Amino acid sequence: MENSNSKNSLIRDIKFRHLMMIAFGGAIGTGLFVGTGGNIHQAGPLGTLIAYAVGGIIIYSIMLSLGELASYFPNTGSFGDYAYRFIGPATGYVIFWLYWIGWVISAGVEYIAIGFLMQYWFPQIPVYWWVVACASIVFLLNSFSVKIFAEGEFVLSLIKTIAVILFLTIGFIGICYHFYLNGFSGIFENFYFQQGGFFPNGFSAVLGTILVVIFAFSGTEIIGVAVGETKNPREVMPKAIKATLVRLIVFFLGSVFIISVFLPMNDSTITQSPFVSVLERIQLPFLHNGIPYAASIMNFIIITALISTANSGLYGASRMIYGLAEKKMYFSIFSKLNKRGTPIYALYLSMIFSLIALFTTIFAPEVVIEALISVIGFTLIIVWISVSISQYIFRKRYIAQGNSIKDLPYKTPFSPITQIVGILGCSVGAIGAFFDSHQRIGILASIVYIILCYLIYFLTKDKFKHLK
């Protein structure tokens, strides 16, 4: 555990309100605001709702397991540290690198999404200029103290949280008015198709969508990293989990339902936010042509949301590199902190790799983004599975040593059923996605990456003299 009084340790300056908003900030981003359109286009409205419900169950079970581990071992290494302790050093090493690559790619995807959204106002300015601008903002927020990062994330997350609440409110009013005008059948006219019924692309498309939905929920777990720089972690971690999980699932399922009601499947794309499309066409009492300027306002809010997610992503990635170096699994320079307590060299490395997003503007952006999202989703699945396994092994060892479950700061309910649900859910998502030709290349690339990480571990473990 990091000691906040040590000059060589991370400073515990994150408060409960920060931690809760960091969980929102990591999750409410491209996956919800942009990726939902692509999910509906692939799986259909009902299929997407099912995929998000399954994704919600999976993330709920993972977070319950994470709560027990992070409350007892509140350190920045988080998932990598837990896998290192309870599964094995080699797997811990791989989990560190998996979570790192997932977040640097995620930050890059956020940059690209912002570039597309900025074209709504400035179609003549190339996407890559906005990528550079966004990356610069995110780097500045992370390069100062963790308190500056946390305050910035709090404000950005609060904006998008309020925006989603307003969207849900407007959508509910719109659905009521739609029911008044067109009756019950009018609300669900986008859900059933003459060819294919409720699942126009087959139920296999729903299974393939689960991996993309996992990407949408990704970021909630980043509080397991942030807890290492949080005041009173054993008290605030359980509170943060309880406060965020149900709200997030309601936000996601509610938003998908509203979008499905007002946006036909064939009008949904991955390059335009369905939130903007809905607000442009929703009918409300006295506002039959949509809400004036709502699309521009929503576009701005979504951009701040994506900056927030990229901000969380760069934070999480830099802390993984720091955790590796701290355990002597990587070059010691990356464990060095600047005078404000930021692992600046780990931040530099993560920033450089997140800028790989610039190269996607040269190729077909839609194809590249889909492949990158599948990489993020698959790597996160492995990380989540490791959390469930680590918690199960920890609980067994804890009891075997004569300790009482009652003494844990936070107890995962329904153990081991909770862990089984998490592992099976993640596995189903990965298998389903493998049969989707668009996502298969990302999964195969991730598997190659995992094999390389294991090989590098065994080749370098004597060089770095890993801590035991």
Q: Locate 57 and state its tokens.
A: 């169950």
Residue whose token pair is 């936070």: 410
Containing 203, the helix (H) or strand (E) segment is helix 203-217
Written in H, E and C, the secondary structure of 35-97 is HHHHHHHHHHHHHHHHHHHHHHHHHHHHHHHHHHHHHHCCCCCHHHHHHHHHCCHHHHHHHHH
Q: Is the pLDDT of residue 6 over 50?
A: no
Q: Which residue did the predictor score with more confidence, 452 or 199?
A: 452
Q: Residue 389: what pLDDT?
A: 96
- Between CA 349 and CA 389 the distance in angstroms is 30
Q: How confident is the model at residue 440 (pLDDT cuts 50, 70, 90)?
A: confident
Domain 16-464 annotated CATH 3.40.50.2000: no
Q: CB within 8 A of 343, min separation 6: which ones? A: 10, 318, 319, 321, 322, 325, 334, 335, 336, 337
User: Domain map of the chain by residue range?
Assistant: 16-464
Least confident of 258-262, 339-343, 370-374: 370-374
Q: Locate 30 and state its tokens.
A: 């491209």
- Between CA 425 and CA 58 the distance in angstroms is 6
Q: Residue 4: what pLDDT?
A: 41
Residues 399-405 have a mean pLDDT of 92
Length of the chain: 468
Q: Residue 3: what pLDDT?
A: 43
Which CA distances in Å does 259 have to 39, 136, 282? 11, 32, 10
Residues 26-30 have a mean pLDDT of 74
Residues 365-392 have a mean pLDDT of 84
Which CA distances in Å does 414 have to 47, 247, 419, 431? 28, 21, 9, 26
Q: Which residue did the predictor score with more confidence, 145 or 87?
A: 87
- CA angle (347, 352, 354) in 5-degree steps: 95
Q: Residue 192: what pLDDT?
A: 81
Backbone phi, psi, residue 179, to 5°: -65, -40
Q: CB within 8 A of 95, min separation 6: which ones? A: 79, 80, 83, 84, 382, 383, 386
Residues 457-463 have a mean pLDDT of 82
- Between CA 128 and CA 155 the distance in angstroms is 26
- Between CA 169 and CA 424 the distance in angstroms is 35
Q: Residue 199: what pLDDT?
A: 84
Span 146-190, pLDDT tens digits: 888 889 989 988 898 888 899 999 999 999 988 888 888 888 888
Backbone phi, psi, residue 321, to 5°: -65, -40
Q: What is the dihedral of CA 161, 53, 102, 148, to 10 degrees?
A: 20
- Between CA 393 and CA 426 the distance in angstroms is 18
Q: Is the pLDDT of residue 467 over 90?
A: no
Q: Is the pLDDT of residue 84 over 90?
A: yes
Span 186-205, pLDDT tens digits: 888 888 876 767 888 888 78
- What share of the chain in percent tops pLDDT 90? 28
Backbone phi, psi, residue 408, to 5°: -70, 140
Q: How confident is the model at residue 395 (pLDDT cuts 50, 70, 90)?
A: very high
**Are 453 and 93 spatial neighbours (Cβ–Cβ below 8 Å)?**
yes
Count Cβ atoms within 10 A of the Cβ of residue 271 and give its class: 0-12 exposed, 13-18 middle, 19 or more buried.
middle
DSSP conformation letters of 277-328: HHHHH--BTTBTT--TTHHHHHHHHHHHHHHHHHHHHHHHHHHHHHHHHHTT
Q: Is the pLDDT of residue 446 over 70?
A: yes
**Are 291 and 63 spatial neighbours (Cβ–Cβ below 8 Å)?**
no
**Are 259 and 350 spatial neighbours (Cβ–Cβ below 8 Å)?**
no
- Between CA 248 and CA 119 the distance in angstroms is 29
**Are 353 and 314 spatial neighbours (Cβ–Cβ below 8 Å)?**
no
Residues 396-406 have a mean pLDDT of 92
Q: How confident is the model at residue 69 (pLDDT cuts 50, 70, 90)?
A: very high
